[in-house]
A and B are shown apart, each in its own frame.
Chain A
Amino acid sequence: MSANPSGLPHKPAGAGLRFPGRRVQGPTAALHRPLVLILVFLAPAILIYGLFFAYPMARAVYLSFCRVAPASQVATFIGTANYRKLFSDPIYGWALVHNLVFLIVSGSATIALALAIAVGLTRISRGRGFFRVIFLFPNVMPVVVTSLLWSFVFNPAFGLLNGMLRLLDLNRYCHAWLGEPHYALPALMLIGVWGGVGFYIVLFYAGILRIPTDYLDAAKIDGANGWQEFRHVTLPLLGDLMKIAVTYIAINSLNIFALVYLVTEGLPDRHLDVSLTYMYEQYSKNSNMGYSCTIGVMQMAILLGLSFLINRVLRRETVEL
């Protein structure tokens, strides 16, 4: 699922709760009791979510301590052996490094570009609606199409990029982009920025519009130039939005899968594995189901830690309106 507005602020539980009326006691009172309604209305959700979501997740935690026989799928408890193996697994280490590079490089590029574009949108007078519609196109495209389309853009023989370079008579800059280790990771990150930045543009744009104009006017009267206004008024007043954006980017950079899987499938070695493609590989190619679950549990632990950290670090940086 992409662009889920998850982890959003919501009202404290109980605030504004109301019961739909006291019921008149009568012969049908039993039928009117909310308990029946509560049970009946919650049952389907608990059943479906429990069976196909919660149970597999909980079971994965257990399997991460097991060895699972590939054919019979019988699980044998082996304690922390999988975790010890994970901590000394260099391929997993490199996969995490790639995730981290994605998070830092691709993430900062996304935020910087989104901020610039969002500010730009507020400074122009005509065509805002047009630009906003276009900028979100990549976000609603299936990630399968984005990944494959871009793997063709980078294609050495007929790709758009080399085609453009040849057209401009810059043949010496042509590369087999995805086939060359030096260019493959930056190329992947470029695809990531292209596919993801639209959401953050919309987010920041809405955030900037929310800032009361008094603040901006005050800054102008004090003689602030455009950059100072942005640095000292707009940026701090984006408040929680920056925290939300960074949290999303962290989650998305860690959970990156389809892009890397589709673009690098068929490339010679796996110098581009990220944690989830490695997890999938352990499961699909090596039938290493227990170990695969261990990587998944580790993933969850890292995600939780990271969101906690981001919330901690960015708390003091923001101003509440």
Chain B
Amino acid sequence: MTPRASKVLWYILLAIHGLAVLLPMIWMISTALKDSWTIFVSPWGYPEHLAWANFPNAWKKGVLGWKFINSIYISLAALCAALGIASMAAYVFGRFKFWGRRTLFFVFIAGLTLPAFLGIVPLFMLMKSLGILNTRYGLTFVYTAFSLPFSIFVLTGFFRGLPGELAEAASMDGCSPFGVFFKVMLPLAKPGLVTVGIFIFISLWNEFQLALVLLTKPENSLTLTLGIANLTMAQRYQSDWGAMFAGLSIGVIPTILLYSFLQKHIQAGLTAGAVKG
């Protein structure tokens, strides 16, 4: 086979996979713009007149609008808390020696492999007795805790790799250890914080399992993913399909936008740990 012919075959393979990826997504958006009648008559066709009303309908119907804002609030709050707490801990793990360091580090990192579901029953009981079940800040606490293993793991490696000279110089100049961290080391760690932040935000925005168990009342389904799931389950035997597809589209928009703008960061971050050098 000539190199040119084999290249064409590779292009065909990639194009087919690209189409398989994009087709369901395009279908989702085009269906979100159809009225329920058209969906049934021509599921495959192009929407003749765009039924934009589906989006406000979805926004109001499952109170998705309110949940959208809730999801942003919870994800951002947990993200900030996790980054703050994890960067302090990672700094200590990465740059200090103390008794029990390896054991403690291992305890945190073990969280990466444990299934989130293992502790779900006791977690539910704990939150109930603390009176924070079905609350936004209750879920924020849990999301913060579940984000710590990954954040600490990546950031510890990051702090360990930073040059020590700047910190030494600052401390010689009379900067307190706390000052060294906040004024010198934390700004240096910014690229690491950005990468970790993107991953945490996307995974918290997409999170479903914990929310399903910890937000027990359907009317309290605070996050968008849970709201979309509940809306679809409730609607499955009704007929406002257009609004449902609009709901699905709303759920995708933030992460797809974030990914499209920051995809270089994400592609690099995905393999940063796995591929050495």
A and B are interacting partners? yes
- By a beta-carbon cutoff of 8 Å, the part of chain A in contact with chain B is 1-11, 13-14, 16-21, 23-24, 28, 31-32, 34-38, 40-42, 44-46, 48-49, 51-57, 59-60, 63, 68, 73, 113, 116-117, 119-121, 123-125, 127, 131-138, 140-145, 148-150, 152-153, 157-160, 162-164, 166-167, 194, 198-199, 202-203, 206-207, 210, 226, 240-241, 244, 251, 254-255, 257-258, 262, 265-266, 276, 279-280, 283-284, 289, 292-293, 296-297, 299-300, 303-304, 307
**Is B152 an interface residue, CB under 8 A from the partner?**
yes
Chain B min CB distance to A10 (Å) = 6
Contacts known (A8-B273, A163-B44); A37 close to B178, Cβ less than 8 A: yes
A113 to B13, CA, bound (A): 10
Q: List 17 A-B contacts (CB under 8 A).
A: A4-B199, A5-B150, A6-B153, A8-B153, A11-B157, A19-B97, A32-B177, A34-B98, A37-B178, A42-B104, A60-B121, A124-B11, A137-B259, A140-B266, A145-B228, A162-B43, A255-B115
Q: Are A141 and B161 in contact (CB under 8 A)?
A: no
A71 to B87, CA, bound (A): 41
A295 to B24, CA, bound (A): 35
A57 to B142, CA, bound (A): 13
B3-17 CB contacts (< 8 Å) to partner A: 6-7, 10-11, 13-14, 17
Q: Are A266 and B233 in contact (CB under 8 A)?
A: yes
A25 to B123, CA, bound (A): 47
Among B27, B104, B115, B259, point to the contact of A140 (Cβ < 8 A): B259
Residues of A with C-beta under 8 A to B153: 6, 8, 10
Chain A min CB distance to B17 (Å) = 6
Q: Which residue of A lies closest to B204 (CB)?
A: A1
Q: Which of B112, B118, B225, B252 has the most CB of A within 10 A?
A: B118
Residues of A with C-beta under 8 A to B119: 53, 55-57, 59-60, 296
Q: Beyond A5-B154, A11-B160, A21-B169, list 8 extra A-B contacts (CB 8 Å).
A: A20-B177, A23-B177, A36-B177, A48-B141, A49-B111, A52-B144, A149-B248, A159-B43
Q: How many residues of B contact A (CB 8 A)?
A: 122
Residues of B with C-beta under 8 A to A131: 14, 18
